[in-house]
Amino acid sequence: MRTVTIDKNAFRRFVDEIIKRQRVIGVCAKGDRFDFEQLESADQLRLDYDVTLQPPKKYFLPPVETLLTFEVGDGYKSVYDDTPFVLLGVHPYDMVALNQLDTLFTQDNYDTHYMKRRHNATIVACDVVSPSKNVFASSMGTATVKDGFDVLLTDIGNAFVMESGSKKGDRFIAKAQGAVDSSEKDLQARQKIQAENEKRLNNHKLKCEASYLPKLLERAYDHPVWEEKAKTCFSCGSCNLVCPTCYCFNVQDDVNWDFISGKRQRAWDGCLLDGFTKVAGEHEFRKKRADRFRHRLYRKCKYVPEKISSQIMSCVGCGRCVGACLPDIANPVKVYNRLVDDLGIK
Amino acid sequence: MCERCAVEKDIYLPRLATLEKKRLMNPTEMYLRLSIDDNEPFDFIPGQFVEVSIAGVGEAPITISSSPTQKGYFELVIRRTGNVTNAVHRMRIGDKIGIRGPLGKGTYPVEEAKGKNVVFICGGIGLVPQRSFINYVLDNRADYKELAVLLGTKCLSQRFFHSELDVWSHRNDIRFMETIDQTDDCWLGNVGVVTTLIPKIEKELESALVFICGPPVMYKFVLMALQEAEVPKERIFLNLERKMKCGVGKCGHCQINNYYACIDGPVFRYSDLRIAPEAI
């Protein structure tokens, strides 16, 4: 695995070269905010962004995707999306989220639809330059990332340090004209930036170690905070929608106008929405808003980490839900800190 | 393409099955006999379910009602209540139905129950999934000790499997008791909820494995009655129904705290549910 340094102008030319050959998705400005979009030129790319409106998961688990096509009475056929693409500018916390989704979609049963897209992607992660207003990745241990990416970029001022994390990354770097093996000085500059990020991406400070959260939640099931917070919850599911690790989905059939052929699609769903657990006979297992509110925060820092035996929580500290929540109750740090205050650390 | 994607099957792709027989058992329950079209094996353990798929309508999780000792076909009993189940009711003999499965790792403890008493407590349509293991026990009768089946039905018009229940009530190797919630002039048997029958099987409950399946409200009261009868939680099994949308542990709809009903269940040991307050 190589680590190279590339001058910013050379990097721009390099990106333009890739755009000519392949679909490239990168971070662009959208008004005064940012989002992932298909690039037409390297000039659109903004690697100094704070946070994207949507996490990059939509390129692997699209909001709506076709799983199968069918003809009534004549069986089903799998449908796959096979276009290779480059995903440019994934922040470390989002990379950690993608690593978790990889585990979740391969564990127990292998999801070929997700994994095909995953294998078609070359992911270029990048260390954070401008921390967003609500980021708390340092609290969650996700301010930097060590694996999962194909290439990791770090802005060291006038140049980028590019580290390869896979064979695909090696091939990617090999194509970069003007890249030279990183000097000791460049590596030290990068080390300094990463060490700083480990501390400074922390605009909401968690009062305990993130790895302690599953234990804390074990004692918090009947705590009044769930009712208190959920009192003003609109059950709108915005927190689910913007979360990089939310992956619940619904499956629906769509019949074409000929009434013979059609497709089976999966679409994002949210555990905060009313009716998420409703079954035949009108039985609903999480009818109360407080139960659904609690479920999300348990899923992030207890159920999912325990399911994949991960020391890193499923809340990666991107802070998107904090900004998306209209009644301002979604901030996980506020809830967890309240529990630490009331229940203590044992 | 990656190597694993090339060999792994699409977990969302149904196989086709042919509807061989169907019969309306009461105003809402349809009995269906299906056989898989392809030659791939279809081996299941009692308690496993399938996703029944109707093209253009959708999928619904249904537990297999027949015993795996019956080869070459399998049986489902489906209550019409939503889009998919109503569409199933409209199917005709010879029609193709999509099937995914068998699914679920939490099955009836077929091996563990050997040499022990087995007691089934069913509420209404809860008989359907239990029937798979009941018939399995009857087909391997020597492997199991006392067998008791308790069935509670809401009203006489919802009673089903009449001839099969009639056979059970006349066999010597099965203690079958049933009750109807509401009195009916045409009914000469027990009247009351299913818990009223539990004190009558004191002998069978001794060192027995107990299996419960019924509407959500029933579990609470049956568990209270079993606690009174001092049946330990390790020997009680619950068949939990949730919205198993994908059936393969991904979509999140059937989650019960730490568990997924579709892969960890649908049959759970009661003592394992201590950490899952959402279960009951």
Instruction: Supply the pLDDT for residue A82.
Output: 87
**Which residue spans of chain B are classified as CATH 2.40.30.10?**
3-103
Phi-psi region of B192 (alpha: psi -120 to 50; beta: other; left: phi over 0): left
Instruction: Supply the pLDDT for residue B187.
Output: 85
> In this structure, are residues A155 and A128 in contact, taking their beta carbons and an 8 Å threshold?
no
Number of other CB atoms surrounding residue A5 within 10 Å: 24
**Partner-chain contact B13 A285, CB within 8 Å:** no
Instruction: Supply the pLDDT for residue A72.
Output: 84
Which helix or strand (DSSP H or E) is residue B155 part of? none
Which helix or strand (DSSP H or E) is residue B214 part of? none
> Does the pLDDT at position B5 exceed 90?
no
Q: Which residues contact A236 (CB under 8 A, 6 or more apart)?
A: A272, A273, A326
Matching residue, tokens 């035996």:
A309
> Which one-letter DSSP state was computed for residue A108?
S
CB proximity under 8 Å: A 72-101 to B: 72-76, 78, 82
Q: Model confidence over A95-142: pLDDT tens digits?
A: 999 999 999 999 999 999 999 999 999 999 999 999 999 999 999 999
CA B219 to chain centre: 14
Instruction: Print burial letters for B66-97: b (CB count within 10 Å at least 16), e (below 16).
Output: bbbeeeeebbbbbbbeeebbebbbebeeeebb
Largest CA distance in chain A: 67
Q: Which of A167, A277, A298 has the highest number of chain B CBs within 10 A, making it the mutation to test binding with B?
A: A277
User: Which chain B residue's Cα is nearest to A121?
Assistant: B1
Measured between CB atoms, which of B9, B215, B253 is closest to A276? B253
Query: Per CATH, the architecture of B117-275 is what?
Result: 3-Layer(aba) Sandwich (3.40)
**Which residue spans of chain B are classified as CATH 3.40.50.80?**
117-275
- Average pLDDT across each block of 10 residues of chain A; the chain has 346 residues. List them in order: 91 94 95 95 94 96 96 89 93 96 94 94 95 95 95 94 94 91 93 95 94 94 94 94 96 92 95 91 89 95 92 94 94 95 89
> From CA B135, how far away is CA A320, in angstroms rounded?
53
Per-residue CA distances from B266 to A91, A179, A287, A333 (Å):
39, 56, 21, 34
**Partner-chain contact B55 A251, CB within 8 Å:** no
Contacts of A278 in chain B (CB under 8 A): 243
CB proximity under 8 Å: A 300-329 to B: 302-303, 306-307
> Which one-letter DSSP state was computed for residue B163?
H
ipTM above threshold 0.85? yes
Instruction: Supply the pLDDT for residue A309.
Output: 87
**Partner-chain contact A280 B242, CB within 8 Å:** no
CA-based nearest residue to A264, from B97, B54, B49 = B54
> Does the pLDDT at position B1 exceed 70?
no
> From CA A8, how far away is CA A5, in angstroms rounded?
9
> From CA B253, how far away is CA A269, in angstroms rounded?
9
Superfamily name with CATH number, domain B3-103: Translation factors (2.40.30.10)
In the predicted model, what is the mean pLDDT of residues B207-223?
93
Contacts of A293 in chain B (CB under 8 A): none
